[in-house]
Structure 1
Amino acid sequence: MSSSSFDRAGLALMFSTILVWAGSWIAMKLIVPYIGPFDFVALRYVVGSLVLFVLVIATRRPLAMPPWKLTLLIGLTQTAGFQGFVQTALVSGGVGKVSLMAYTMPFWVILFAWWLLGERPTARHGAGIALAAIGLVCFVEPWNGLGDIRPVLLGLGSGLCWGVGTVLSKRMFERHAPDVMTFTAWQMLFGGLVMVPVAYLVPQMTAQWGWPLWTGMTYIVLIATAAGWLLWLQVVRRVPASIAGLSSLGVPVVAMLLAWAILSEKPTPVELGGMVLILAGIWVVSRAAPAARAD
């Protein structure tokens, strides 16, 4: 593959993925008035996993489940926990705020990889975390009173769950090397099924199945979940990891801009400053050398 084809194809795919995933945050916010958060999570991931299973069969990939205990833990954290916190946060929180808190995931990965995998963080990791911590304080603005801090805490909870799931996924790939698509389908199915009894037991609004909900769910399940994941595989395949990793910066930025344009969610100057600091912290962490394993 030539350098020019890499520029045209790889980067175009990366920006397409960023746009697709950023758009899913707008879709998730728009369907809040029409479906409860737990119904949404169960439906999104059960149906999304079935779409992936069809692709697994169509592409003749192995269908066998990876080790079920670890797969279940990843489904509980990376799928059920992450999306459950996100959708609950979006009930009262703005897209920019919640998406940025969710994308604190790299910082949680550093902490949990240190604890679970023995990967000691470097000074650069510490600098990135410090930048993000200052940005979080600016973003919350405690000097003006905490106000409704619930979406921020729920957003941070989603990032924490995503971080734990990422570390557990790393352990899965190191120890068992499953097929990526098959593993993703199984952990999504587990995460979705776990949310089914929660959706029945926890009081929430009754789903209102009109065109807004059908349109939003179609985009989220088929485009953001299935097609977005396939786009991401192509990005990882074509684009250097150091560049692909920076896409974590692009999704919350584009989501915030789309929310500003579509939902009139205009951030304050201090919030913008906090966002810049958090994104700078993510960039510093993404450019840091891999953490060393403890002896």
Structure 2
Amino acid sequence: MEDPTPYRRAAQAAPAGSEPGQGLATGALAALCLVWGYNWIIMKAATGYAGPFDFAALRSALGTFFLFAALLLLGRRLKPPPLAPTVLLGFLQTAGFTGLSQWALVAGGAGRTAVLAYTMPFWTLLLAAWLLDERIRGIQWLAVVLALTGLILVLEPWHLQATPGSGLLAVGSGLAWAGGAIVAKRIQTQQRTDSLVLTAWQMLFGSLLLAVLALAVPQPPVRWTGAFLTLLLYISLVGTAAAWVAWIFVLKRLPAGTASLGILAVPVIGVLASAWQLGERPSGPVLWGMVSIVGALALLTLHGLGYGPGGRGDRRGSPPGQNEPRGTR
């Protein structure tokens, strides 16, 4: 589930009706939401077979292999983007996001973790205001308040007997993802870069860090069963490599707003799938917190489409990633 926020340029280059195959792209977007939403169930299931860093390293390494293979099949040039920022992007987006979210799933529910990881846009707003001097305006403030309210409800700090570790790890994964969004914006601003090539290279560098962590952190031995290999192959080939190729296809053929609204389904699908397949039943406050966070995501998406001050018609203070959809792995 790698961060799609660097790709504003690709999305905005395709106004509605300008590309053939929009029906196919709409179907691809629906399938992509299902795949990325269900990835959280796969990741949760994998915790019964491997430690979090072992699985994160394996899935990222295999996903990187399949993604480079796809680039070769598509005839893309494999020239790496600027090295230092791409390494940093890989450490934040692949190692940070994937490693922390997988670690959160060891003790946390799949649906809850998915929603907390999706606090990424709000951390991006705050980081952009601090690092890029981009002001928070209008409806963005309401979205931030909604998101923070949702965070409090989901983390339930008043339950002192509960262990908040998994929730904090999930929030940390969103923070890492947001940091990756800032780095990605700077890379795309400084040099025109093929989005799929950038994704592949940052995944490679992030996978190397995850491999080091997997070797350094004590974990239970991997259970190499048929079920585990199926989970690993699915999330590496379908949930990562194929999903990224599909995502770039969607961005080239659908307006950014359509893709943005569609991708909001990812955490919702994660919650519904976890309730259906894993029997997760969030408490009342947690459920309302999830609704608040998803509602805040919707507000930010509408803001990116031009509703309210600072929207598409008002570029002042628009933070990075505001006009792009946000997917998870």
Tell me what 2:202 maps to: 187
Residue of structure 2 in register with 1:204 after alignment: 219
2:244 paired with 1:229: yes
Q: Quick check: 1:170 aligned with 2:170?
A: no
Q: Do 2:250 and 2:259's aligned partners in 1 also have CA atoms closer than 8 Å?
A: yes
Residues of 2 paired with 1:274 and 1:130: CA distance? 12
Structure 2 residue identity aligned to 1:193: L
Name the counterpart of 1:238.
253
TM-score (norm 1): 0.94
Q: Structure 1 residues 9 and 131, CA, compared in 2 at 3 Å: closer, same or farther?
A: same
**1:78-117, aligned counterparts within 5 Å?**
78-117=93-132
CA contact (8 A) 1:76 1:190 kept: yes
Distance in 1 of aligned mates of 2:239 and 2:78: 23
Q: 2:92 matched to 1:77?
A: yes
In the aligned structure 2, how far is the partner of 1:235 from the partner of 1:63? Answer: 22
* Mapped partners of 2:175, 2:200: distance in 1: 22
**Using the alignment, how far apart are the partners of 2:258 and 2:294 within structure 1?**
15
- Alpha-carbon distance in 1 for matches of 2:190, 2:262: 27
Counterpart-to-counterpart distance in 2, 1:54 and 1:6:
24
The superposition leaves residues 128-178 of structure 1 with CA deviations (integer Å, 9 ceiling, x where unpaired) of 000111112222233343612111100000000001101111111111111
Moved more, 264-273 or 90-99: 264-273
Please state how far the C-alpha of 1:6 moved relative to its aligned partner.
Answer: 6.7
Structure with the bigger percentage of helix: 1
Of residues 282, 288, 294, the one that matches 1:273 is 288
Whole-angstrom CA distance in 1 between matches of 2:102 and 2:205: 18
Distance 1:273 1:190 in 2: 38
Farther-moved stretch of structure 1 (43-52 vs 162-171): 43-52
- Distance, in Å, in 1 between the alignment partners of 2:317 and 2:140 is 14
Among candidates 231, 249, 256, match of residue 264 of structure 2: 249
Partner AA of 2:125 in structure 1: I
Match of 1:55 among 59, 67, 70: 70
Give the TM-score, by structure 2 length.
Answer: 0.85
Residue 316 (structure 2) aligns with: 292
Mapping for residues 12-91 of structure 1, pairs under 5 Å: 12-91=27-106
d(CA) in 1 for partners of 2:79, 2:158:
54
Cα distance in 1, alignment partners of residues 180 and 164 from structure 2: 24
**How far apart, CA to CA, are the structure 2 residues paired with 1:108 and 1:206?**
35
Give the length in aligned residue pairs: 293
Are 2:137 and 2:317, in contact at CA under 8 Å, matched by a contact in 1? no
Counterpart CA distance in 1 for 2:114 and 2:127 is 21
SS in 1 for 2:221: coil
2:325: which partner in 1? none
* Residue in structure 1 matching 2:143, options 106, 117, 128: 128
User: Alpha carbon RMSD of aligned pairs, Å?
Assistant: 1.9
**Residues in 2 aligned to 1:249 and 1:149: alpha-carbon distance in whole angstroms:** 25
